[in-house]
């Protein structure tokens, strides 16, 4: 049973990484279930939501975050690269919000 060594000296067993991956996946599934439940209750047109550019942006951001976390926990991506990816996503999201706020003015 291989043990992963992280930069800060913490060891993670393969079972622990698998458990965290399953937990992250379950969280995403629950979140999507809640989203589609809300869509069904609001009587919105599902095709309009699926065609929306913001829907694809949200799906992409969630996928990149989930993949980055799992790869980081598995020791496949270094901590500084993980930080760079996550800070890039945060900057993108905040930039999108800032752009909308400026357009509203």
- pLDDT confidence bin for 85, thresholds 50/70/90: very high
pTM: 0.62
With a pLDDT cut of 70, the percent of the chain lying above it is 82
Q: Is the pLDDT of residue 49 over 60?
A: yes
Per-residue pLDDT of 64-80, as tens digits, reads: 888 888 788 777 888 89
Q: How many other C-beta atoms can be found within 10 angstroms of the C-beta atom of residue 29?
A: 10
Cβ neighbours of residue 4 under 8 Å, at least 6 residues apart? 11, 12, 13, 14, 17, 74, 75
Please report, for the chain, the start and end positions of each structural domain, with discontinuous segments joined by +: 3-104
Query: Are 71 and 77 spatial neighbours (Cβ–Cβ below 8 Å)?
Result: yes
């Amino acid at each position: 049973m291989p043990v992963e060594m992280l930069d800060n000296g913490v060891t993670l067993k393969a079972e622990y990484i698998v458990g965290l991956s399953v937990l992250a996946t379950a969280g995403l599934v629950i979140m999507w279930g809640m989203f589609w439940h809300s869509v069904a209750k609001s009587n919105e047109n599902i095709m309009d939501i699926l065609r929306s550019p913001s829907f694809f942006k949200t799906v992409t951001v969630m996928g990149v975050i989930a993949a980055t976390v799992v790869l980081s926990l598995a020791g496949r991506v270094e901590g500084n690269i993980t930080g760079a990816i996550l800070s890039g996503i945060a900057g993108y999201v905040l930039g999108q919000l800032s752009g909308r706020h400026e357009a509203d003015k």
